[in-house]
Chain A
Amino acid sequence: MTVKTIAISNLHKIADRELIASSLAGREDGFEELVRRYQRPITAYVYRMTNDYDAALDVTQEIFIKVYNSLARYKTEYKFSTWLYKIARNAAIDHLRRNNHGDVSLEIETGDDETFERPLESNAPTPEQERERSEWRAEIQSVVQKLPAAYRDLILLRHSQDLSYDEIAEITSLPLGTVKNRLFRAREIMRDLLVERGITGV
Chain B
Amino acid sequence: MICSHAGEVAAYLDGELPAPAENSFEIHLSECAECSEKLNVQKRLLCALNFAFEDEKSFKLPANFAKSIAVRAESDVSGLRSKDERRRALLIAAGLFSVGAAVGIAGKQSGVIAFVVEKLFAQIWVVVAVFATFCYDFIVGINVVLRMLGRGFWVESPLTTFLLTVLLVVAFVILSRLLFKFHRVEHSG
Give A residues with C-beta under 8 Å from B.
24, 28, 31-32, 35-36, 39-41, 43-44, 47, 57, 60-61, 64-65, 67-69, 71-72, 121, 136-137, 140-141, 144, 155, 158-161, 164-165, 180-181, 183-184, 187-188, 190-191, 201-202
Which residues of B lie under 8 Å from residue A155 when comparing CB positions? 49
Report B48-63 CB contacts with A as 1/0, cut-off 8 Å. 1111110111111110
Q: Among B11, B50, B58, B67, which residue has its beta carbon within 8 angstroms of that of A184?
A: B11
Q: Tell me the B55-95 residues at the A interface (CB within 8 Å).
A: 55-62, 65-67, 69-70, 72-74, 76, 78-79, 81-82
Pair A187/B61 contact, Cβ less than 8 Å: no
With contact pairs A165-B11, A181-B7, A184-B9 given, residues A159 and B69 touching in the complex (Cβ less than 8 Å): no
Question: B188 an interface residue at 8 Å Cβ cutoff?
Answer: yes
Question: B41 an interface residue at 8 Å Cβ cutoff?
Answer: yes
Question: B123 an interface residue at 8 Å Cβ cutoff?
Answer: no
Which residues of A lie under 8 Å from residue B55 when comparing CB positions? 121
Pair A187/B50 contact, Cβ less than 8 Å: no
Pair A64/B56 contact, Cβ less than 8 Å: no
Question: B116 an interface residue at 8 Å Cβ cutoff?
Answer: no
Which residues of A lie under 8 Å from residue B81 when comparing CB positions? 24, 69, 71-72
Pair A160/B14 contact, Cβ less than 8 Å: no
B interface bracket (residues with beta carbon within 8 Å of A): 35 or more
Most buried by B among A24, A61, A65, A201: A65
Which residues of B lie under 8 Å from residue A24 when comparing CB positions? 81-82
With contact pairs A40-B61, A180-B7 given, residues A160 and B82 touching in the complex (Cβ less than 8 Å): no
Sort A-B residue pairs by CB-CB distance and give the 9 closest, nearest first.
A68-B73, A184-B10, A32-B70, A140-B52, A44-B59, A36-B66, A35-B66, A159-B49, A160-B53
